[in-house]
């Protein structure tokens, strides 16, 4: 079950990173990177 959970997070992280590189609004780019920090830490099961 934890594996499926982490796969979902991995999917989200991939989508957000793609968005970070395609987004044209700086404010949105900053928001995306803020969202990515806890997501990546959960993906790595750190926090």
Partner 1 sequence: MGKHRIIAIILTGVMTLVIIFTGREFKDMHADIPIFPSDDLAEVKMLSDYFEGLKNTPGDTQVYVFEGEEEGGSVLILGGTHPNEPSSNLTSILFVENLKVDKGRVFVITESNKSAFTHNDPQEGSPHGYYIETASGQRFFKYGSRATNPIHQWPDPDVYVHASSGQQLSGSETRNLNRAYPGREDGTLTEKVAYGITSLINKEQIDLTIDLHEASPEYPVINAMVAHETSADIASFAILEMQFQSIEIALEMSPKNLHGLSHRELGDFTETYPLLMETANPAQGRLRGATSAELIVEGIDPIYEKAGNAGFLFVKFDENGHPLNERVARHTTGIIEIVKAFNCLNSGKEIIIGGIPGYDDMLQQGIGAYLR
Using CB under 8 A, list all residues that contact partner 1. Answer: 2, 5, 17, 20-21, 23-24, 26, 29-30, 32-33, 36-37, 40-41, 44-47
Which residue's entry shows tokens 């979902």? 8
Which residue's entry shows tokens 């926090």? 47
Taking the complex as a whole, how short is the minimal distance between the CB of residue 13 and partner 1, in angstroms? 11
Instruction: Give 10 or 44: the residue with its C-beta nearer to partner 1.
Output: 44
What's the CA gap between 28 and 43, in Å, rounded?
22
Total Cβ atoms within 10 A of residue 17: 15
Taking the complex as a whole, how short is the minimal distance between the CB of residue 11 and partner 1, in angstroms? 18
């Amino acid at each position: 079950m934890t594996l499926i959970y982490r796969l979902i997070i991995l999917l989200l992280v991939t989508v957000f990173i793609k968005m970070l590189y395609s987004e044209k609004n700086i404010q949105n780019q900053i928001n995306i990177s803020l969202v990515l920090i806890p997501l990546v830490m959960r993906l790595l099961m750190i926090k």
